[in-house]
Structure 1
């Protein structure tokens, strides 16, 4: 994008790389024996996905033909990860895989959200997104990033916070994520735009920021869904144990 300092793009590229490595660590630490060998497949697949998204953005696939429905970034960048997540939740192997993922490492990934919000604020200052997409607007996602290490350490590692509170944190944090996703979608230039007309959300249409909705957000959302699933199962198992006693 024109008039955007290179360091902002560089920082976000690093954030995406860290997200990839943290997610790779989550999969590698899975308890399921069949999951660990699959890291050799999943990790290259994620790299290929990032390369494809970079290619599409660098060739202006997302930043042109803005009147198309559905928007190209939704069709080519967002729906595929959503489809994969739905598939995992609706297959036996997918459920076993998700239940084997380490809750602690999944929770720590959310720290990345703090740095994402800093980048979003920089993008606002350089007129690449509207103010309402930042913590000075109606985006409170930074709260999840700030509280994540405390929930991970005291709630999961040390078990000093109840399962109910950790579950509530995941639900609230997922809600915060959905909130900014909706704001970003309605602020992006398309026939469906309802917000941010003074300064549309153009950043996500360009490299490397298109990695945010096509990779970083799906990883965070998937982590919350897995965490909520695991925590609910723990509550049910705990309740069953109490009843039997």
Structure 2
């Protein structure tokens, strides 16, 4: 497999490390009555990243014959575990909607990286904004929606709900494109199969970044439908 540019690798690792730092900062803001909570969120992200890298290096995710693919099962397991962990330490109760929305801006970096990989011939064009992946719109709009949430509070609730639903739909679209682009029984797309995400360091995309985006969408819904501003 040809290696992409150092810039793409640096961006991918920077986003992951940045998310770990954000998770740690958020966790430290939890109530003092929960002494173990300050490390739970950050450790969860770091542990998942480390486990994914080890498994990818061992070739675990390169077996695409399973239905659904192992990568998809891993991502779903991570998302479920994160929701359980956040619920147990009551992190959802202190996470502001504005911050959760702003967090989604990291998807701009991800999509720029995917586009560069597509241009270099490492991922199928359908997985980029030149194809049918429009996830970059979520990242670009996140700062504006976060500002509206901060500025107008409850008055922006309908806007944030609509944006979150649209963002979740675009994320589901990306996941569907990926699952139908990998080799094996689920492969439906024409052209280059998507295999790079099964290897180090690109496993961080489906194993860490996608669950972070999905968990954030779920947390926003839980917060807004719970009538918090």
Distance 2:39 2:19 in 1: 17
1:82 and 2:79 aligned? yes
- In the alignment, which of 139, 142, 157 is matched to residue 145 of structure 1? 139
The offset of 1:34, in angstroms, is: 4.6
Distance 1:79 1:136 in 2: 27
- In the alignment, which of 114, 118, 123 is matched to residue 120 of structure 1? 114
- Partner residue, 2:64: 66
Runs of 4+ that moved beyond 6 A:
none
Q: Deviations over 1:37-64 (max 9, x none)?
A: 412233233222211111111222222x
Matches within 5 A, 1:217-232: 217-232=210-225
Question: Does the 8 Å CA contact 1:108/1:148 hold for their aligned counterparts?
Answer: yes
- Partner residue, 2:167: 173
1:183 and 2:177 aligned? yes
The offset of 1:221, in angstroms, is: 1.0
Matches within 5 A, 1:31-46: 32-34=31-33, 37-46=36-45
Residues matched between the structures, number: 228
Q: 1:69 to 1:179 in 2, by over 3 A?
A: closer
Question: Does the 8 Å CA contact 1:106/1:227 hold for their aligned counterparts?
Answer: yes
Distance 2:53 2:123 in 1: 19
Secondary structure of 2:227's partner? Answer: helix
- Partner residue, 2:105: 111
Q: Deviations over 1:104-155 (max 9, x none)?
A: 22111111001110000011112221111111111111111011111111x2
Question: Does the 8 Å CA contact 2:101/2:146 hold for their aligned counterparts?
Answer: yes
- Partner residue, 2:52: 53
- Partner residue, 2:23: 23
- Give me the TM-score of the superposition, normalised by structure 1: 0.83
- Partner residue, 2:9: 9
- Give me the TM-score of the superposition, normalised by structure 2: 0.88
Distance 2:130 2:25 in 1: 33
Q: 1:42 to 1:127 in 2, by over 3 A?
A: same
The CA RMSD measured in Å over matched residues stands at 2.4
Runs of at least 5 residues in structure 1 that lack an aligned partner in the other structure = 239-245
Distance 2:35 2:106 in 1: 24
Runs of at least 5 residues in structure 2 that lack an aligned partner in the other structure = none
